[in-house]
Amino acid sequence: MLSYAVLFDLDGTLTDPKLGITRCIQYALSEMGYKPPDGDRLHWCIGPPLKNSFSQLLNTSEDKLLEQAISLYRSRFSTVGLFENSLYPQIPETLQTIRSAGYKTFVATSKPYIYATRIIEHFSLSSLFDGVYGSELDGTRSVKGDLIHHILQKENLSPSATVMVGDRFHDIIGAKQHNIASIGVTYGYGTEQELTVNGADSIARSPDDIPMLLKDLRLKIFS
């Protein structure tokens, strides 16, 4: 029997992590002797792999410098920044509706797995997911396409019966690489243009749009 599944990005899709992420980036830059940008100018760092963001912020590809920045970021994030985070409205109800419709649900985030699981537990969402997947601390599977490939194999999911839900172009591109449908959400940190230009199949403007969009996609795929 075919299992239908939904992969959810975490930052900007399930939770709003702005305070934690921006403050930890500012902390890392300050500790390294740089003047950090205001938090509102760091929105673009929410979603992509951390190494990519620091590479742009520091204008370098030097591994030693990037590792130092990531280490400083994590020293604050693992104790404080992790919980400077809030759940988007209607997320628990939306997940329950989707699961009641027969879908399996998984978290698929570029954030390290050890942090993602703590965040999901903190918001009491563990019972609403069949699995939580993230990157390793060394950066393995921080690219969304690599992570999606891993989940599809590990959970034996059919691409034609799987949908990726996320707020940034990385989510949409990762989905397209594996021929799975995607729903872009505009209540997070990506724009509707960013999502549609990269091929999102549907657009959700609030979490409670997602169940109906999933139903429409399912009908379209199997009609």
Distance (Å, whole) CA 11 – CA 13: 6
User: What is residue 17's three-state secondary structure?
Assistant: coil
Which residues, 6+ apart, have CB-to-CB distance to 39 below 8 Å?
A: 18, 19, 22, 23, 26
- Max Cα–Cα distance, the chain, nearest Å: 58
Q: How far is CA 95 from the centre of its chain?
A: 15
Tell me if 182 sits within 8 A of 172, measured CB to CB.
Answer: yes
15-35 as b/e, with b when 16 or more CB fall inside 10 Å? bbbbebbbbbbbbbbebeeee
Distance (Å, whole) CA 45 – CA 221: 33
Which two structure tokens, joined as six digits, stand for 122? 């903190």
Identify whether 9 is a catalytic site residue. Answer: yes
Distance (Å, whole) CA 58 – CA 77: 19
- For residue 87, what is the enclosing H or E element? strand 86-87
* Total residue length of the chain: 223
Q: Among residues 9, 16, 171, 201, which one is catalytic? A: 9
Cite the active site residues. 9
